[in-house]
Chains A and B, each alone.
Chain A
Amino acid sequence: MAMAALRREGRRLAPLISPRTITAVRSSPLYPTLEDEGPLGVRHISTQVVRNRMKSVKNIQKITKAMKMVAASKLRAIQTKTENSRGLWQPFTALLGDLPSADVKKNVVVTISSDKGLCGGINSTSVKISKGLHKLNSGPEKETKYVILGEKAKAQLVRDSKKDIELIITELQKNPLNYTQVSVLADEILKNVEYDALRIVFNKFQSVVSFVPTVSTVLSTEIVEREAESGGKLGDLDSYEVEGGETKGEILQNLAEFQFSCTMFNAVLENACSEQGARMSAMDSSSRNAGDMLDRLTLTYNRTRQASITTELIEIISGASALEG
């Protein structure tokens, strides 16, 4: 469209052309001024370059807008599942308590993150908290190991804590997120990792704009017994008579494993929700930025265009007036 306008202007100016300036004008419909040196020796950016930039920024805006809508629809699908799964782990916390302050020898930090990027800062916050937990729980007798779910946390944690990583699981989102899948995962973790306390780090989905990094603690049976004897929050556990199996220990063991898989299920769902929400808001601000950039580029483009037309006019008119007088 701009090219056609330039061509029209070229034709309008044609009657004023004098033989001397023919070459300059003939070149203008096809090649608008490239890196012109005006009268003061100032270089201005050519319209072609600005037009290319505008095209690419417009494409970026379209892509980010589409990504935002995709994220919004995925969020809606997952949100109902997440809210239903919240009820699942609450009875465990009511019975066994959530004791982040439990002092144990073998800590395992399960960091849940996303596989794909462009989702704001949620993965960095999860990793920061995991590293903080690691530092908090490392000492002469205590040790902390990582179990990593998701590519993004893997990339960040492999750099400096490689020796502490026990298990890495990626491409979680390829399989549908239901309890069966997560229980298989939980089974893997429980089989391969020795632990006294499992701390699951994930982003809890409060609302579409707010994601709170949270830590859920699942204690192994020995620690639960120890804490129950020492009183405090778990002191009530002893008042419950445990039935339904050979020994109390066996039931508590099964209970702890069930608790772990329920908490994992909830954590994975919440993190997926937070990921989609964060991606939505990141893409939204990105398309808004692209719109602003497009406005600024349009102004620059118009200024450049008008400057080049003015320059041509000046050349022609000065050439014509030089001929006359």
Chain B
Amino acid sequence: MTLNLCVLTRNQIFWDSKVKEIILSTNSGQIGILPNHAPIATAVDIGILRICLNDQWLTMALMGGFARIGNNEITILVNDAEKGSDIDPQEAQQALEIAEANLRKAEGKRQTIEANLALRRARTRVEAINVIS
């Protein structure tokens, strides 16, 4: 029994295949989905998605969205997604540093919130490369 995973971003279908297990970050923590999971609809936070296919774990950075799980079908709709293998470590590290600097400079509530989000996105990308399972 496998799960059918479909990750959709705004412009394209990012991932569509059968997987054995996934680990998803939601607002209330990480959840693991195995086949025959009870149906849930949940919000996805800016974080990492880990997929197990053929006994190999892959990481993806997701930038927030929704997920629906039912009948062994998982549909994840996110604003943006990147495969861990596609992210350049140097560039991600630099983006992280820039985001941190922006957060320190931010003035006003709106800028702080935006800088925070940018920081979380950059951090997720860096983590996506570094995580080994």
Interface residues of A (CB under 8 A from B): 81, 84-85, 87-88, 91, 94-95, 178-179, 239-245, 251, 254-255, 258, 262, 265
Contacts and interface: CB of A to CB of B under 8 A. Distances in A.
B131 interface: no
Given A91-B68, A240-B70, A243-B31, A81 B11 contact: yes
Given A240-B39, A241-B38, A87 B13 contact: yes
Contact of A254 (B13, B26, B31, B43): B43
B42 interface: yes
Closest 4 CB pairs of A and B: A244-B43, A244-B42, A244-B26, A179-B10
B98 interface: no
A251 B43 contact: yes
A255 B8 contact: no
B42 A242 contact: yes
B17 interface: no
B8 A95 contact: no
11 contacts: A84-B11, A179-B11, A239-B70, A240-B39, A240-B40, A240-B41, A241-B40, A242-B42, A244-B27, A245-B27, A262-B77
A239 B27 contact: no
B10 A265 contact: yes
Contacts of B77: 88, 91, 258, 262
A88 B40 contact: no
Nearest to B11: A84
Given A242-B41, A251-B42, A258-B66, A91 B28 contact: no
A258 B39 CA distance: 20
Given A87-B8, A251-B42, A258-B77, 16 more contacts: A84-B12, A85-B10, A91-B6, A95-B41, A95-B68, A179-B10, A179-B11, A240-B68, A241-B39, A242-B41, A242-B42, A243-B41, A243-B42, A244-B43, A255-B66, A258-B66
B48 to A, nearest CB: 15
B39 A88 contact: no
A278 B126 CA distance: 47
Contacts of A251: 41-43
A84 B11 CA distance: 6
B115 interface: no
Contacts of B116: none
Nearest to B12: A84
Contacts of A241: 38-41
Contacts of B44: 244
Contacts of B72: none
A244 B68 CA distance: 12
Interface in B1-38: 6, 8, 10-13, 26-28, 31, 38
B75 interface: yes
Contacts of B10: 85, 88, 178-179, 262, 265
